[in-house]
Each structure stands twice: as structure tokens, then as C-alpha cells.
A and B are shown apart, each in its own frame.
Chain A
Amino acid sequence: MDLNILGACIMIGLAALGAAIGNSNLFAKFVEGVARQPEVRGTLFGLTMVLFGLIEALPIIGTALGILVLFGII
């Protein structure tokens, strides 16, 4: 078995693990915030989506680099 497949799998898996923790924290706090103050739901939703994009960026960078490793480009 080629080692680059293993490398890509570890890369994508660990990145997904970190993002899962980050996203769960973010959305748990979002739900909590809406439960406390339902009237700020719109503001909080926009803010949450921006932060979601920021968190989601790192694992997706890991995934993209993992794909490049998988195809043996880097």
C-alpha cells in the first residue's frame, strides 16, 4: 500500500475531528443564545454562519492538501 493514501487519510480525518469540536461548540452556543434571547436570532444566525465559514476553512484546507497528497502532486 502506498503511504500517501495513509497520509491523506490521517490528514483529512484529524482535520475533520478538529472541525467537529469547533462547530459543535459554535452551534451549541448559538442555540443557547437563541434560547435566551429569541429576538436576536437573525443577527446571531448571520454571525454564526460567518464564524462557521472561518472554522470550516482549516479542515477544508487539510482536505484539499490531502487530495493533492493522494494524487501525488505534493
Chain B
Amino acid sequence: MELTPKFTLDLGLFKLDFDLTILIGTLLSAIIVLVFMLVATRKLEMVPRGLQTVAEMMVDFARGLSEMGHDQKRAHKFVGFTLTLLLFILVANQLGVILMVTSGPETHIPALGITHEAMEAANAHGVSWLKSPTADMSFTFTLSIAIAIGGTILAIAYNGFGGWLKGFASPMAALHILEAFINPVTHAMRLWANIFAGEILITILLQGMWWTSLPLAAWIGFSLFVGTMQAYIFTVLANVYIGQKISH
């Protein structure tokens, strides 16, 4: 395990811990997606060429995904959300596999909480500067809870407050309420655990002998596949959960 640079904001009542690694990773993936889409859609033409073809394929793909979760007449409103979520999580997942930055155990920056004592206490071998933000539980839980709250707000907006409450008035009410709390947890855990386990195994294999390079290459390939897969599944499930909340 590696330490991560942190800085703490003291608000009197409570303290806020900011993890610098996750902030860097989140910003970097957002910038990559933004720059790619800006470059791809800069000079739009009737007959698409080059990157515009790729961007149009992505939009088509996102439309297909949002139709999996929503009614036919409502699906087109969620294409933007789906495309944003898909690209952002896809880039964030692959960031740690392709571009992992770690500094050695002699790093000493007391202002960010990186001291030799802290490293010994956490049994860490180095400091992680850039990894997948999705390999951190707080990041994925932020996404899934935001999706759950947003879905509830949309459900109230579409059905009215009475209609939303009426959705719970069924013999399965207890199950519905339980589902509303369990879904965000499994939604977040699924993404986090896949990326986290992948990165840990890469770190362990990197510290191994010369013959671990073969399993390392195989595992990096599998990690790329898993990252793409999980981005897809996370997006599909986000649409399905929001669609369920709206329609029932």
C-alpha cells in the first residue's frame, strides 16, 4: 500500500481531508475528456471525417445505453449524461493502468502529511501521486450517491411529490426502501473493488522478480478490459436505476 498526499481543512465543527492524488486524477481525466471532445467537435461537417466519426459513434453508443434504462420518449434527454459519465469513468479507470506515478519511500513532505513515521505506521513502500481516482472508495460513493439523489429529484420532478410517494405504496414497500439504500452501495463497491484490486495486483507484480513480467503484461491487458467493462456497466446501471426511480 502507498501513502497519498493529503491536506486537511479545519472548519471548526469538523475537519475535511482532501486527497491530492484523487483531485489530480479527477482533474486530469476531466481535462482529457474535455480536450478530446473539443478537438473532435471543433470543425463539424455534414460528412464526418477523422475524430468527428469517433465522437459521433460515441454519441450513438450513449444513445443506445440510455435507451436501455429509460422509456423511448424520455431516453434522448439522458444521452448527454450517459456520454459524460461513460467517457469520464472510462478515462479515470484507464488512468491508473496506463499512467501510474509513484515516488519512492525516501519522499519527505511534512506539509502534505508524508513523513517517515506516517509511512512506517501505514506500512507503506512509497507515495502515490497519480492513480485511478475510481480506485478510491470515497470517489465512487460520491458518484453513486449523487446518482441516487439525482434520480430521486428527477422522479419527484416527473411524477410530482404525491406520485413519487405513491410509488412506495405497494406490498413490496419495504423492499423498495431497502433497495434505495442498497443500490448505491453495490453500485459504488462494484466499480471501486474492480479498479482497486487491479491496481494493487499491478503494484505487487511490479515489486516481483523478472519472471513476474509475463503475468504483469497479461494482468495489464485484463485490467484494460475490466476498466472498459466496468465503465460500461456503471453507466448502464446508473441509467437503469434512474429509469426505475422515474417510472415506478
Contact = CB atoms under 8 A, between A and B. Distances in A.
Interface of A: 49-50, 52-54, 56-57, 60-61, 63-65, 67, 71-73
A54 B203 CA distance: 25
B193 A71 contact: no
B199 to A, nearest CB: 10
Given A50-B232, A53-B230, A64 B1 contact: no
A64 B193 contact: yes
A64 B192 contact: yes
A61 B189 contact: yes
B193 A57 contact: yes
Contacts of B236: 50
B197 A67 contact: yes
Contacts of A54: 190, 233
Interface of B is mostly: helix
Contact of A53 (B1, B192, B233): B233
Contacts of A65: 193
Interface of B: 1, 123, 186, 189-190, 192-194, 196-197, 200, 229-230, 232-233, 236
Q: Which of B186, B192, B194, B197 has the most CB of A within 10 A?
A: B197
Given A50-B233, A52-B229, A57-B193, 6 more contacts: A49-B229, A63-B193, A64-B194, A64-B196, A67-B196, A73-B1
Given A57-B190, A71-B1, A63 B229 contact: no
Contact of B193 (A49, A52, A61): A61
B194 A60 contact: yes
A42 to B, nearest CB: 13
B235 to A, nearest CB: 11
A71 B192 contact: no
A67 B233 contact: no
A65 B196 CA distance: 10
Contacts of B194: 56-57, 60, 64
Given A64-B192, A71-B1, A72-B123, A53 B229 contact: yes
Nearest to A12: B197
A53 B229 CA distance: 7
A27 to B, nearest CB: 15
Contacts of B190: 54, 57, 60-61
Contacts of A73: 1
Nearest to B200: A67
A50 B194 CA distance: 14
18 contacts: A49-B229, A53-B233, A57-B186, A57-B190, A57-B193, A57-B194, A60-B190, A60-B193, A61-B189, A61-B190, A63-B197, A64-B193, A64-B196, A64-B197, A67-B197, A71-B123, A72-B123, A73-B1
